[in-house]
A = this chain, B = another copy of it.
């Protein structure tokens, strides 16, 4: 049904893939053994902790504030990102399967990396984890899955695991600089997740440029049902994005406001994505690529500002602009990037993550800089921007400046880190497919014969062969 010309030596990962899986998983076990323990809310000493801290009820365990959001984020990572990439006609196994593999490894490594940078207890040398760490690990992995979007169909699972190992490491460092050193706020990760992840993937894809990729052109497209599968991914991302942006914001109004803002921005970007999609096509027909992707741009762009007092109409404006910009990107920018910058971006992460993420970072900077005590109240300002400790004297203007600087840091980490990792992935030992063999699950999967469609043809064949002599 599909070309069988698979250069089998090149994509055989029978040694490298199991080796990486086992060695790295054993390393995780050892490192977890040394470093990771339950935090006081997940430990059997919780009842003592409650008494000592005058917590009146079990319901005030952070688990009940964040677990529903955590599960929504979890769905976004595994079903959302996984199914969003199933749109290719013959790469659905790779989309959903490698997404699964990469995320399952990445969350473990992220718990360690983020733990070392953010929550290592200097007294005991342990990282104490709870539900918030699980959410952050999912977030961290999201950056790598975004990068996968640019490379979809062109890399081996071993390359993806390497990409994740380095991606999570870069993420943790970048996040440490942005959140701890610059003290920027980025609850939904416009900067640390989307801008970083998008540029990271683009830089890798640029280094791995394949001049003869058009040999696989026949498989670089969708079929009817694969587009419907992709809509599962789109919708779960779209629906749960309010949970994504509110998952780790402040208890109470912080989570509440972040969810509302994201809900509104997303709704708005659907309408402008549809509008631009229709107006840029002959006969006004909609393009599934835009519906599957650009409708999400509002969620990406609200990642930083969702917890601020951006106001409901402010959220609508953000969604309005980013839905438009993202769709324009798919229509005009992606072809230009490929032609002039040699940038092959399978899922268009440039338009969905890199640019809206960058814009989200700067929107956050502007909203932060224009915060006033009148709108936030003094206490609200302190809570929202965490003006405490070393940062008690910071003004909103300064905060805005640091937010903008943070966005530049995220982009720089993405581009420079991606460039370096791309060079590593270029070494010809990772089992990546040949140029005429991309976007094809045959390379790494036992693909079932689709005998559903074959029998009638053969049947007809026999029938005809019998009939021919009559001529």
Contact = CB atoms under 8 A, between A and B. Distances in A.
A449 B464 CA distance: 22
A38 B379 contact: no
A313 B33 contact: yes
Given A267-B107, A311-B37, A274 B17 contact: yes
A90 B92 CA distance: 20
Given A253-B44, A380-B45, A32 B316 contact: yes
B271 A25 contact: yes
A202 interface: no
Interface in A213-242: 218, 221-225, 227-229, 231-232, 235-236, 238-240, 242
Interface string A369-380: 000000111011
20 contacts: A14-B279, A14-B281, A18-B275, A22-B275, A32-B313, A36-B312, A38-B311, A42-B260, A43-B253, A46-B253, A47-B383, A63-B255, A71-B243, A93-B288, A130-B260, A134-B259, A222-B448, A223-B448, A225-B225, A453-B453
Given A256-B42, A278-B13, A284-B14, A65 B64 contact: yes
A314 to B, nearest CB: 9
Contacts of A272: 21-22, 25
Interface string A114-148: 00000000000000011100100000000000000
A271 B71 contact: no
A468 interface: yes
Considering residues A25, A32, A279, A460, which has the most beta carbons from chain B within 10 angstroms of its beta carbon? A25
Contact of A445 (B32, B83, B264, B285): B285
A427 interface: no
A199 interface: no
A79 interface: yes
A58 interface: yes
A388 interface: no
Given A231-B97, A259-B63, A274-B101, A445 B286 contact: yes
B460 A283 contact: no
A162 B91 CA distance: 38
Given A104-B271, A270-B104, A454-B456, A93 B228 contact: yes
A362 interface: no
Contacts of A276: 18
A297 B469 CA distance: 58
Contact of A131 (B260, B445, B461): B260
A231 B235 CA distance: 16
A135 B421 CA distance: 45
A17 B274 CA distance: 8
B18 A444 contact: no
B60 A59 contact: yes
Contacts of A41: 252-253, 256
A78 B275 contact: no
A361 interface: no
Given A22-B272, A25-B271, A260 B134 contact: yes
A38 B257 contact: yes
Nearest to A31: B313
A352 B7 CA distance: 34
Contacts of A134: 259-260, 263
Given A36-B312, A105-B271, A278-B18, A64 B71 contact: no
